[in-house]
């Protein structure tokens, strides 16, 4: 038995006429009659009662018609689903994100993904340190990592999403909050709150390097893993922090931000496995690239204004 036998039978059963069914199937009537006879012989039952003027379904034929329709519908659905998966319109994608991007990029990115790919199951894991993301990416627990460099692994390919300047997070009533801009030297005698060390945070190393390049050792009082905790600690008056500019979008009451002098910045990267050819991932990266281009155009317009 082949699927064509089911299609032939459904056509005859619905048309109640071999001639009309043959026209519908774009084939001659004699081969159609032979195929139905083969189907009945294989099943060992009579599905159609034939007369000179019409065709009627037997009891067995009525039951078989319902099942045949269901089988053909399932086959058609499977084909459509396979096509949608191949086109990247259906599937699953797990996205990891560092803290600063969790509150700035991720909300807009998630909405865009939902709007453009509503049939895709997206899972978002925010507040992930870069080393944790890289480990999860290689272990196939996430498919797309939004993280800070360096990302150096032969099994991973990366692209730049944006460049983030550094700012200083301060308690609102801090004495340095009266200034419009701060230098790293201004933090010489301040308690610092930084992301976790032990090789797990890119920002920890950057803050340490900034302080040492200014001629002093950072006075680190608290180490945290989540950006939201870091900003909450600042708002509580436990210290100050050097963070990427998008952290300001977190909006924790009691915290204010000032630009950090200098042109040093940190990139936000999109990292994927080099062997991942997922169509869903390709569409997500394309959407991210369009967002990056729109952001670049807006920045160009802002810079060109007098």
Mean pLDDT along residues 247-251: 87
Closest CA to 43 of 12, 65, 14, 23: 65
- Looking at residue 231, what is its pLDDT? 94
**Greater confidence, 61 or 298?**
61
Joined tokens for residue 174: 């801090």
pLDDT score of 306 more than 50? no
pLDDT at 304: 38
Q: What's the mean pLDDT when you consider all of the chain?
A: 88
Q: What is the pTM of this model?
A: 0.69
Here the tokens at position 257 are 């931000």
Residues 131-172 have pLDDT tens digits of 889 999 999 999 999 999 888 899 999 999 989 999 999 999
Residues in a beta bridge with 87:
none
Domains along the sequence of the chain with CATH: 3-86 (1.10.10.10), 91-161+267-304 (3.40.190.10), 166-263 (3.40.190.10)
For residues 224 and 233, the answer to whether their CB atoms sit within 8 Å is yes
User: Strands 55-57 and 219-224: what pairing?
Assistant: unpaired
The CB-based long-range contact list for 129-133 (8 Å cut-off, 24+ gap) reads: 129/98, 129/195, 129/196, 129/200, 129/201, 129/225, 130/98, 130/201, 130/202, 131/199, 131/200, 131/201, 132/96, 132/200, 133/96, 133/97, 133/98, 133/271
Question: Tens of pLDDT along 110-138?
Answer: 888 888 888 888 999 988 888 889 999 99
Q: What is the pLDDT of residue 199?
A: 55
Helix, coil or strand: residue 255: strand
Render 162-208 in DSSP notation, one character per residue.
EEEEEEEEEETT-GGGGSSSB-GGGGTTSEEEEE--TT--HHHHHHH
């Amino acid at each position: 038995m082949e699927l064509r036998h089911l299609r032939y039978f459904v056509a005859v059963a619905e048309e109640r006429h071999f001639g009309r069914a043959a026209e519908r199937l774009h084939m001659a009537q004699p081969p159609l009659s032979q195929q139905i006879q083969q189907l009945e012989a294989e099943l060992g039952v009579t599905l159609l009662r034939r007369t000179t003027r019409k065709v009627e379904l037997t009891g067995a034929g009525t039951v078989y018609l319902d099942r045949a329709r269901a089988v053909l519908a399932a086959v058609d659905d499977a084909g459509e689903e396979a096509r949608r998966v191949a086109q990247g319109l259906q599937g699953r994608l797990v996205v990891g994100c560092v803290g600063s991007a969790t509150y700035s990029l991720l909300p807009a990115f998630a909405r865009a993904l939902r709007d453009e790919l509503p049939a895709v199951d997206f899972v978002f894991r925010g507040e992930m340190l870069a080393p944790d993301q890289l480990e999860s990416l290689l272990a196939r627990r996430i498919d797309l990592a939004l993280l800070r460099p360096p990302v150096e692994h032969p099994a991973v390919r990366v692209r730049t999403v944006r460049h983030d300047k550094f700012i200083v997070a301060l308690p609102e009533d801090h004495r340095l909050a009266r200034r419009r801009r701060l230098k790293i030297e201004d933090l010489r005698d301040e308690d610092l709150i930084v992301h976790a060390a032990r090789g797990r945070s890119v920002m920890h190393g950057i803050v340490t390097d900034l302080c040492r390049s200014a001629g002093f050792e950072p006075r680190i009082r608290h180490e945290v893993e989540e950006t939201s905790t870091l900003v909450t600690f600042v708002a509580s008056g436990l210290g100050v922090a050097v963070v990427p500019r998008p952290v300001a979008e977190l909006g924790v009451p009691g915290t204010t931000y000032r630009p950090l002098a200098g042109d040093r910045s940190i990139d936000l990267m999109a990292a994927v496995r080099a062997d991942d050819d997922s169509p869903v991932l390709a569409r997500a990266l394309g959407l991210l690239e369009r967002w990056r281009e729109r952001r670049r155009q807006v920045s160009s317009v802002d810079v060109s204004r007098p």
